[in-house]
Amino acid sequence: MGCSSSKDSHAPKIVKPAAVAGQTPCGPWLKSAEDLTDFPVWPADYQQSLTCKFVTKEVWEEYKDKKDDCGVSFKTCIISGAQNVDSGIGCYAGSHSSYKTFNKFFDQVIDAYHKHPPTANHTSNMNASELQCPPLPEDEQAMIVSTRIRVGRNLAGYPLAPGISNEQRNEIMTKVVEACKTFEGDLAGTFYSLNSLSKKERDQLIADHFLFK
């Protein structure tokens, strides 16, 4: 659940409007979630985001002073979309608890984007033998040099990116490194910490397309 950043040359050129009682104008001048002191109002030309659509006055009044079980506020969940008004979605859950604590908001966003209403059930099947993967035609196989699969998972007991602290990030890294050390065979490998990479290691990882510039 997130939004594309507009912090580049294509960012919308908008001027901060005059103050209106009971409203906080959304735009790049918002520096932190604490700047959302009143009901957020998006510029007339930038009201396409799902956050803009579903942060109604009723939702705002119910959640504006609430935090989830990990201490992440509702304002933190929506600040990105309030800053980057050209976002398509504009929100990030602060933890697993956010989806329940702020359900009247997130349920609508998920339903609108994923077509997955609150009454729907999510099913998963981790049995690789049941994957339906017919062989590719020879001409398409010839174009493939290498492939990789990126999998993102979250650890129980930790908030998600918007609400996590540096200390918690380091705890997660330590746990992941210890877990990776138990891998054997073709799963074994080397863990590289971004904070301690040498220039030689960084250049090699970029050359091998494991790390972006």
| CATH of residue 55 | 1.10.135.10
Q: In the prediction, which pLDDT does 128 show?
A: 84
| Structural domain contains residue 148 | no
Provide CB contacts within 8 A for 71, sequence distance 6+: 159, 163
| Structural domain contains residue 191 | yes
| Structural domain contains residue 61 | yes
Handedness of CA 104, 107, 112, 115 (dihedral sign): negative
Provide the total of helices (H) and of strands (E) in the chain, helices listed first.
8, 2
Q: How far apart are CA 66 and CA 120, in angstroms?
A: 26
Q: In the prediction, which pLDDT does 59 show?
A: 98
Whether residues 27 and 100 share a domain: the answer is yes
Q: In the prediction, which pLDDT does 192 show?
A: 87
Residues of the chain with pLDDT under 70: 1-11, 213
What are the E-state strand segments in the chain? 23-25, 39-41
State pLDDT tens for residues 116-146.
999 999 888 888 889 888 889 999 999 998 8
Q: In the prediction, which pLDDT does 5 show?
A: 47
Q: How many domains does the chain have?
A: 2
Q: What is the pTM of this model?
A: 0.77
User: Are 160 and 106 within 8 A, CB to CB?
Assistant: no
Question: Which tokens belong to 47?
Answer: 């009201």
Among 114, 136, 156, the domain boundary falls at: 114
**Tokens 């609430």 correspond to what residue?**
66
Whether residues 110 and 38 share a domain: the answer is yes
Provide CB contacts within 8 A for 57, sequence distance 6+: 39
State which residues form the domain around 173: 165-213
Q: In the prediction, which pLDDT does 151 show?
A: 73
